[in-house]
């Protein structure tokens, strides 16, 4: 489905893949959890952010990825409407009876309630009717996905929906909302953070009933423009409170200007139908299960694979490692993120039957590859911000030029003079050129070295493009 959608819409698979993962997380979140060890579980939810420029077809891609979940939600709403109508009617009748009994009881004096043994105490009768009315629960309408909500509304939705909700949008306005757009700039991130980790949420407001969510499971999947991504990564509130450490970033290759309408390949009907059926069945099947979330165990080989991943990641978190420094907090959650992805892949493969099967080693290995994809893209997202003046569009323009040049002369170095004279205009200024090349070098896309002259002396700097980046 990922490759088929990318071919049909002419977008990068790096845009489609995270959105499909987000849809899987929406379907599974709060219903299953990964149990690696008896004392180690991971909630099956992800926080994902896809950054792409204007006209990169973020909205149609998100629509295709989430369509089966929305379809399943509509079916569940239709099925619940009749139950809600019946329950609401019964409760209204019971409340009216309790109100009438209360009114009758209030007319009687204490002596008048001293009735014979065969009579019912009016006060007790009114209390009994009130308790019966309160016991009638009107089930809420099933809500799997929300688009634009405030932090307060999100908590209410979580409380109504057994702690489950997915925020999925092709716009990045959600970040501004939680940063305090409607609250005089006061950020409200607590519910977001707890929704990822599964920590209890307790909200008590004067004049309103307390909202309690014991085991929240919140999915976040947003598509933003690069400027929004830069602002999010630069916001110390998001970084300092741990929100950035929870988000897996993806920055798809820009396709604007490179699309060919004649090359678009419609998604095969059987592929679209299979994806829709699998995701819709998973959404409805898990939603109907009671007493969740269900713990899904990992095979011994899968657990050993995870243990080896832990050992490797610990080394990468040390000084000089690719997950150290500004990425240390993000890298500290890398293994848990891979475990969550593994469970989602497992459920995608086996459907609702996956709750009774163990996650195997191959699935964990596939999740590791996805984890490395997110690690590379997150390094790029954080690196773009750290360089301050370097814009993502400048990096993209430079890399596009290097790739075209590489096709003409594979593996040949670029001289600084060539970059200045023949490259994009932005490379003519040495200060900007040096910052761009330094950023690309940090991402292991290019390497800058000094040539040696025939006499053995160090000469001018030249740049090599990594073959895998070409």
pLDDT higher than threshold 90 for residue 180:
no
Q: Which of 87-96, 107-116, 242-251, 428-437 has the lowest mean pLDDT?
A: 107-116
Q: What is the pLDDT of residue 183?
A: 62
Q: What is the pLDDT of residue 324?
A: 83
pLDDT higher than threshold 90 for residue 389:
no
Q: How confident is the model at residue 137 (pLDDT cuts 50, 70, 90)?
A: confident
pLDDT higher than threshold 50 for residue 117:
no
Q: How confident is the model at residue 292 (pLDDT cuts 50, 70, 90)?
A: confident
pLDDT (tens digit per residue) in 4-51: 898 889 888 999 999 999 999 999 988 999 999 999 999 999 999 998
The 3 state secondary structure assigned to the chain is CHHHHHHHHCCCHHHHHHHHHHHHHHHHECCEEEEEECCEEEECCCEEEEECCCCCCHHHHHHHHHHHHHHHHHHHHHHHHHHHHHHHHHHHHHHHHHHHHHHHHHHCCCCCCCCCCCCCCHHHHHHHHHHHHHHCCCCCCCCCEECCCCHHHHHHHHHHCCCEEEEEECCCHHHHHHCCCCCCCCCCCHHHHHHHHCCCEEECCCCCCCEEECCCEEEEEEEECHHHHHHHHHCHHHHHCCHHHHEEEECCCCCCCCCCHHHCCCCCHHHHHHHHHHHHHHHHHHHCCCCCCEEEEECHHHHHHHHHHHHHHHHHHCCCCCCCHHHHHHHHCHHHHHHHHHHHHHHHHHHHHHHHCCECHHHHHHHHHHHHHHHHHHHHHHHHHHCCCCCHHHHHHHHHHHHHHHHHCCCCCEEHHHHHHHCCHHHHCHHHHHHHHHHHHHCCCEEEEEEECCCCCEEEEEEEECHHHC
Please state the length of the chain.
Answer: 470
pLDDT (tens digit per residue) in 329-388: 999 999 999 999 999 999 999 999 999 999 999 999 999 999 999 998 898 888 644 444
Which sign, positive or negative, has the C-alpha torsion 237, 239, 241, 244? Answer: positive
For the chain, percent of residues with pLDDT exceeding 90: 33
Helix axis angle, 392-408 to 226-234, nearest 10° = 120
Q: Which domains does the chain have, with CATH numbers?
A: 2-79+141-386 (3.40.50), 392-469 (1.10.10.10)
In the block, residue with structure tokens 């978190």: 317
Q: Which of 33-37, 131-135, 174-178 has the lowest mean pLDDT?
A: 174-178
Quote the mean pLDDT of the chain: 85
CA–CA distance, 122 with 105 (Å, rounded to integer): 5
pLDDT (tens digit per residue) in 76-92: 888 878 877 888 888 88
Q: What is the pLDDT of residue 138?
A: 77
15 near 58, Cβ under 8 Å?
yes
Sheet holding 446-452, edge to edge: 414-415, 458-465, 446-452
339 near 367, Cβ under 8 Å?
yes
Residue 286 backbone class (left: φ over 0; alpha: ψ -120 to 50; beta: rest): alpha
Q: What is the pLDDT of residue 390?
A: 65
pLDDT (tens digit per residue) in 210-219: 888 889 999 9
Whole-model pTM?
0.73
Q: What is the pLDDT of residue 171?
A: 80
Q: What is the pLDDT of residue 69?
A: 92
Q: What is the pLDDT of residue 312?
A: 93
pLDDT (tens digit per residue) in 261-289: 877 888 889 999 999 999 999 999 998 77
């Amino acid at each position: 489905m990922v490759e088929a959608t990318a071919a049909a819409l002419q977008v990068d698979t790096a845009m489609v893949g995270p959105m499909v993962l987000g849809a899987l997380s929406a379907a599974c979140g709060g219903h299953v959890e990964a149990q690696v060890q008896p004392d180690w579980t991971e909630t099956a939810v992800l926080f994902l952010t896809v950054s792409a420029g204007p006209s990169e077809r973020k909205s149609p891609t998100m629509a295709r990825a989430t369509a089966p979940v929305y379809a399943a939600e509509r079916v569940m709403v239709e099925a619940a409407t009749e139950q809600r109508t019946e329950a609401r009617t019964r409760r209204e009748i019971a409340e009216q009876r309790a109100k009438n009994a209360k009114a009758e009881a209030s007319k009687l004096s204490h002596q008048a309630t001293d009735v014979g043994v065969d009579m019912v105490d009016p006060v007790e009768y009114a209390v009994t009717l009130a308790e019966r009315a309160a016991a009638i629960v009107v089930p809420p309408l099933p809500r799997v996905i929300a688009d634009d909500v405030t932090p307060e509304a999100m908590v209410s939705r979580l409380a109504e929906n057994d702690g489950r909700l997915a925020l999925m949008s092709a716009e990045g306005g959600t970040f501004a909302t939680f940063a305090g757009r409607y609250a005089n700039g006061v950020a409200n991130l607590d519910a977001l953070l707890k929704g990822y980790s599964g920590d209890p949420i307790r909200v008590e407001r004067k004049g309103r009933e307390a909202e309690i969510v014991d085991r929240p499971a919140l999915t976040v999947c947003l598509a933003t423009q690069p400027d929004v991504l830069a602002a999010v990564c630069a916001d110390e509130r998001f970084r300092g409170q741990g929100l950035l450490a929870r988000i897996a970033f993806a920055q798809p290759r820009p396709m604007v200007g490179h699309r060919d309408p004649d090359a678009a390949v419609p998604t095969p009907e059987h592929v679209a139908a299979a994806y829709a059926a699998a995701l819709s069945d998973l959404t409805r099947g898990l939603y109907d299960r009671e007493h969740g979330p269900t713990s899904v165990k990992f095979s011994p080989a899968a657990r050993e694979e995870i243990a080896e991943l832990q050992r490797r990641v610990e080394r990468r978190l040390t000084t000089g490692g690719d997950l150290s420094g500004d990425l240390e907090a993000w890298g500290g959650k890398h293994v848990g993120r891979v475990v969550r992805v593994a469970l989602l892949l497992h459920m995608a493969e086996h459907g609702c039957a996956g709750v009774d099967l163990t996650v195997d080693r191959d699935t964990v290995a596939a999740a590791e590859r996805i984890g490395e994809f997110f690690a590379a893209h997150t390094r790029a997202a954080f690196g773009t911000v750290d360089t301050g003046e370097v814009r993502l569009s400048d990096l993209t323009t430079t890399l596009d030029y290097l790739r075209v040049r590489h096709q003409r002369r594979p593996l040949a170095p670029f001289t600084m003079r060539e970059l200045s004279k023949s490259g994009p205009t932005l490379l003519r200024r040495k200060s900007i050129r040096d910052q761009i090349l330094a950023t690309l070098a940090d991402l292991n896309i290019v390497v800058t070295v000094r040539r040696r002259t025939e006499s053995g002396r160090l000469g001018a700097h030249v740049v090599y493009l990594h073959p895998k980046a070409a």
